[in-house]
Amino acid sequence: MAKAAGVSLSSVSRALNGGKNVSAKIARDVSAAASKLGYQPDFMARGLRTRSTGMVGCLVPDIANPLNATIVRAAEARLREAGYMLVVASTANDPGRERSAAGEFRGRRLDGMLVAPGSDANDTTWRELTATGTPVVIVDRDPLDEDPAVLVDHRAGAQAATRYLIGLGHRRIALLTADARMRPSRERIAGFHEAFNELNLDPGGAQLCIQASPMDFAHADTLALLRDAARPTAIIALGTRILAGTLRAARDTGLSVPDDLSVLSVGDTDLAAAHTPAITALRWSLDDVGRAAAELLLQRLRGDVDGPQSRAVLPVDLVLRESCAPPRVTSG
């Protein structure tokens, strides 16, 4: 390549990297030779010298979950724009796989990481794995110290949803969410309780279910819940497999939505929007989460020690549809 352009290696490097001190002639010759040869610099060699890989890793519990996948897509788009490639690892919430993936990322010296750990970031083993000086952005998990993070205001969302159901007259409300070791569920539970507390309502009537992810479990569990004499009149369900299980359970027990049972989805998925009746849902912008995470990471990568902000908190909206109604028999 250098010979093709008839200049030295150093000049090629300078010309290609848009460095200063390059004469017009050399710049011309180099770019001509480069395009004629279809030359593309070798990332390995460059990375070896500059100690940067041009890649960022993304650790999510489950890439097949549309909630995560949409975030990944948005982040990937922004990062590619900035010249980075995105490496993904889906950890299935398994601490072992999580650790091995993080180790792999570290071994490959990725420039940065977007992480949504299964267990929370407080976890020491996880902690020490991230602590290699690699810039990290936490996505919707509790950050420690000064880690930049993108957070979603699940607490306010859950509070608004609960308030809305209470306003319709519901008193026995079940919250079906995922593993409470993770921030989103914890925040939702808190918001749920706050909504009851602010009205001085007996929280004993509130029912709270916390479950692991598998859809079948959600289904069986919800069946039992709905068959109980003191069944809830409204359910707030996490809008992926748990919502699916809930709707199937309602169908199986012959309860009609919203007449016999109000259903509110946490997260606005295809399922919620297309269901008959359409499911009222809490919605937040997954694209915004992904974009914001990428932006925060890019700030770090550029070395802006303190960019505009190192925490982003995104709002949650309540989208009213047809799946919630006053309970048939007011139980107040």
Of 41 and 315, the one with the shorter C-beta distance to DNA is 41
Residue 210 corresponds to which tokens in the numbers above? 């916390």
Write the DSSP string, 37-89. HT----HHHHHHHHT--SEEEEEES-TTSHHHHHHHHHHHHHHHHTT-EEEEE
Contact flag: residue 21 with DNA (CB under 7 A): yes
Least distance to a second copy from the beta carbon of 181, Å?
22
Interface with DNA (CB under 7 A), residue from 18, 49, 146, 308: 49
Of 54 and 66, the one with the shorter C-beta distance to DNA is 54
Write the DSSP string, 181-235. TSHHHHHHHHHHHHHHHTTT--GGG-EEEE--S-HHHHHHHHHHHHHSTT--SEE
What DSSP element (H or E) covers 313? strand 311-314
Measured CA to CA, the distance from residue 321 to residue 279 in angstroms comes to 6
Least distance to a second copy from the beta carbon of 195, Å?
27
Q: Kind of pairing, strands 311-314 and 262-266?
A: unpaired
Which residues in 120-179 contact a second copy (CB under 8 A)?
Answer: none
What does 171 bind: DNA, a second copy, none (CB cut-off 5 to 8 Å by kind)?
none
Contact flag: residue 274 with a second copy (CB under 8 A): yes
What residue has token string 């072992």? 96
Contact flag: residue 48 with DNA (CB under 7 A): yes
What does 146 bind: DNA, a second copy, none (CB cut-off 5 to 8 Å by kind)?
none
Contact flag: residue 48 with a second copy (CB under 8 A): yes
Establish how many alpha carbons lie within 13 A of residue 99's alpha carbon, considering only the half-sphere containing its beta carbon. 9
Least distance to a second copy from the beta carbon of 242, Å?
10
Q: Name the packing angle between helices 9-16 and 24-37 (round to 10°).
A: 90
Contact flag: residue 42 with DNA (CB under 7 A): yes
- Chain residues in the site for a second copy (CB under 8 A): 40-45, 47-48, 53-55, 62-66, 69-70, 72-73, 76-77, 80, 85-90, 101, 104, 106-109, 215, 240-241, 243-245, 247-248, 250-251, 269-271, 273-278
